[in-house]
Amino acid sequence: MYVYISQPIPNQQRTSKNRTMVSQGSNSASSYPIKTIVILVQENRSFDHMLGWFKSLNPEIDGVTGSESNPISTSDPNSPIVFFKDNSEYVDPDPAHSIQAIYEQVFGQPWSSDLPNPPHEPTMNGFAQNAERTEKGMAEAVMKGFKPDAVPVYKELASKFGICDRWFASVPASTQPNRMFVHSATSYGQTSNDAIKLIKGFPQKTIFESLDESGFSFGIYYQYPPSTLFFSLLLIHIYMNEVDFTRNLRQMKYLKNFHQFDLHFKKHCEEGKLPNYVVVEQRYFDLLSVPANDDHPSHDVSEGQKFVKEVYEALRSSAQWKEMLLVITYDEHGGFYDHVPTPTTGVPSPDDIVGPEPYHFKFDRLGVRVPTFFVSPWIEPGTVIHRPSGPYPTSEFEHSSIPATVKKIFNLKEFLTERDAWAATFEGVINRKNPRVDCPVTLPEPVKMRPTEAKETVKLSDFQKELVQMAAVLNGDHKSGMYPHKLVEKMTVAEAAKYVNGAFDKFCDECQRGGIHESEIVELGKQVERPKGRSFIYKFFKCLVCHD
């Protein structure tokens, strides 16, 4: 089934170069049946890698046929060719996916300051070459996708609900910038991890605050201390004289919005108490006792399948099911091949901020295509969303489509940046007049892919290093001589998981002392005069820390 999302160009008032204000108010009742939107962002897999071979099940999907290929060397006409295959399993190590690596993957040549940006139309023929440059033999791994039966949870979701086969990462860069776009439609100039700027914080507004301002609820359900708190929610400046109190999710008043997944997610589903907007976070560290379930290589994709199954089945059993929309996407492609050219024209910078040296990226092109699912009883089985028809001629589905659609469904006051004002919205996926009653109650059981157990002693991925560095900001270690690089350079996965959990407990312990104003930013080691007695905040965080 082809489904096109059509939206007229909105009535907008440009109030500055950086912000688009919408003339409508936010108090009118929504005409959409969706009252709860759930967001799950997995890690580092391209569309063709995860779903390309689903074309064999549904020819409407823009997937692969097996004729797709990449040369080992794009400059050698006699180079060996690597064809795209369907036998992907466990991937180790992690393919390259920095901004410079993605440049080579998309344009077929290594980045150089002497080249125009972009140098030409995307060729999507540099994946194998870049992989071989990273590690000999890696080309075969990035030029493989999963058979549908290898990812049975996704096979069922694609059959019973909807997918988008033209959803791109917001920026051709790594995890952190793209997760920022999910929540704020900008990375505020970041194209990679900058530990110093993480300390100083980012000033942009998030979709969470837009919801809060208009009287809507939100919640973050985490398994490890939430990356959303560490860096994705932005605005983590810890110096009170330099922070906008209305825009910082480390304010005391927002901490009640964080919930432990294992303790509260299913409970809130069963009780019908999920908020209007839900973000579900994964386990980012791969341990023997609790394997990672975020799909980041070299983690076992079957663990990610189990996680998606668990989330879906909890939502399906909820009294709120008939008013829900679940969106599953991936932050970026992780270095894996995709055949669809990335958009390079007509993409607006969110805020006119240029990225750092040496690339000076203008945020005027998107990243590689990633898998995206839409799940709701209001969606016809087998729905496939293709290229959007608006709101502008060059609009595309990308991570900024999430805040843009949330704004539209909940009739929020304004866009966050120029990017979500431009991004396509997906409310049109709600393509039924009445909710279905035949949605599956359970999903298939995944089969383990990894032949070995979790490797707790391996070095950290870039994303894991970022989580540790943000944890250091939470507990005050950013002031030590070890921060930022020496802190993580020899740390193992097991050590990092312990450190991050300890930092969050220490952070919560500071909150636990209670009595501070709800707009105050929690700063470890900062002397604050406390009233006697134990406040509600104290009791709340005592429960949070002791996992009660």
pLDDT digits (tens, 9 = 90+) for 246-297: 345 555 567 788 899 999 999 999 999 999 999 999 999 999 999 999 999 9
163 and 244 in a single domain? The answer is yes
What distances in angstroms separate CA 407 from CA 37, 173, 411, 546, one per listed residue?
11, 26, 5, 36
Question: Which residues have CB under 8 Å from 518's CB, separation 6+?
Answer: 251, 252, 253
Instruction: For residue 506, tell me if it sits in a domain.
Output: yes
Q: Is 154 helix (H, G, I), strand (E, B) or coil?
A: helix
Percentage of the chain surpassing pLDDT 90? 66
pLDDT mean over 166-184: 95
The verdict on pTM exceeding 0.85 is yes
Q: Quote the pLDDT of residue 513.
A: 63
Query: Helices 175-184 & 462-475, crossing angle to 10 degrees?
Result: 60
Q: 406 and 314, same structural domain? A: yes
Query: Does residue 68 or residue 190 have the better pLDDT?
Result: 68
pLDDT of residue 249: 54
Residue 347 sits in a domain of what CATH number?
A: 3.40.720.10
Residue range 163-178: average pLDDT? Answer: 96
Would the pLDDT of 196 be above 80? Answer: no
| Beta-bridge partner residues of 414 | 21
Task: Quote the pLDDT of residue 257.
Answer: 87
Region 161-182 average pLDDT: 96
Examine the domain organization and report whether 212 and 287 are in the same domain. yes
pLDDT score for 114: 84
Domain housing 376 = 2-7+42-429
Q: 29-63 burial, b for 16+ CB within 10 Å, e for fewer? A: eeebbbbbbbbbbbbbbbbbbbbbbbbeebebbbb
Domain for residue 472, yes or no? yes
Q: Within this chain, do residues 61 and 178 fall inside the same structural domain, yes or no?
A: yes
Query: Between β-strands 81-83 and 69-71, what pairing exists: parallel, antiparallel or unpaired?
Result: antiparallel
Within-domain flag for 58 = yes
* Cα torsion angle, 369, 59, 328, 6, sign: positive
Residue 12 lies in a domain: no
Domain total of the chain: 2
396 with 530, same domain?
Answer: no
Residue that has been written with the tokens 């160009």 in this structure: 9
* Residue 396 CB contacts under 8 Å (≥ 6 apart), including other chains: 166, 168, 343, 347, 366, 387, 388, 423, 424
- 517 and 405 fall within a common domain: no
- ∠ CA 104-109-114, rounded to 5°: 105
Of 388, 412, 429, the residue that ends a domain is 429
Q: Is residue 522 over pLDDT 70?
A: no
Residue 461: exposure state from Cβ atoms within 10 A (0-12, 13-18, ≥19) = buried
Strands 2-3 and 218-222: unpaired
Q: Is 18 contained in some domain?
A: no
pLDDT exceeds 50 at position 235: no
Residue of higher predicted confidence among 112 and 445? 445
Task: Please check whether residues 480 and 370 belong to one and the same domain.
Answer: no
User: H or E stretch including 308?
Assistant: helix 301-316
Percent composition of the chain: helix, strand, coil (DSSP 3-state, to 5): 35, 10, 55
**Top-confidence residue, 536 or 258:** 258
pLDDT, residue 512, reads: 60
Q: How far is CA 450 from the centre of its chain?
A: 24
> In the prediction, which pLDDT does 504 show?
82
Q: In which band, very low, low, confident or very high, does the pLDDT at 14 lie, cut at 50, 70 and 90? A: very low
Same domain, 100 and 147: yes
> What is the enclosing helix (H) or strand (E) of 70?
strand 69-71
454 vs 104: CA distance, rounded Å: 31
Which residues is 251 bridged to in the sheet? 521
* Whether residue 225 is found in the same domain as residue 163: yes
Q: List C-alpha distances in Å: 230 to 138, 215, 541.
A: 32, 25, 17
Confidence of residue 25 (pLDDT cuts 50, 70, 90): very low
- pLDDT interval class at 9 (50, 70, 90): very low
How much is the mean pLDDT over the chain?
A: 85
Quick one: 269 and 360 in the same domain?
A: yes
Q: What is the pLDDT of residue 474?
A: 76
- Same-domain status, 409 and 502: no
Q: What is the pLDDT of residues 109-168, one digit of tens each?
A: 999 888 877 888 999 999 999 999 999 999 999 999 999 999 999 999 999 999 999 999
Q: Is residue 276 part of a domain?
A: yes
Which of 405, 429, 453 lies at the terminal end of a domain, its last residue? 429
Residues 6+ apart with CB under 8 A from 89: 150, 449
CA dihedral defined by 499, 187, 185, 272, rounded to 10 degrees? 0
**What are 475-519's pLDDT values in tens digits?**
778 777 778 788 998 999 999 999 998 888 887 777 666 544 555
Q: Is residue 527, in this structure, part of any structural domain at all?
A: yes
**Structure confidence by residue, pLDDT tens digits, 307-338:** 999 999 999 999 999 999 999 999 999 999 99
Q: So what's the pLDDT on residue 330? A: 99
Above 80 in pLDDT, residue 300? yes
pLDDT of residue 252: 58
Exposed / middle / buried, residue 293 (Cβ in 10 Å: 0-12, 13-18, 19+):
buried
214, 413 Cβ separation under 8 angstroms: yes
Domain end marker among 387, 405, 429: 429
Claim to verify: residue 478 and residue 376 sit in the same structural domain: no
Q: Which two tokens stand for residue 352?
A: 């006119």
Of 306 and 114, the structure prediction assigns the larger pLDDT to 306
Report the pLDDT value the prediction gives residue 202, as an integer from 0 to 100: 72
Assigned domain for 190 exists: yes
Share of the chain above pLDDT 70, in %: 81
Q: Residue 457's pLDDT is what?
A: 94
Confidence band, pLDDT 50/70/90 cuts, at residue 3: very low
Q: Indicate the range of 1-10, 46-55, 224-233, 314-323 predicted with least confidence.
A: 1-10
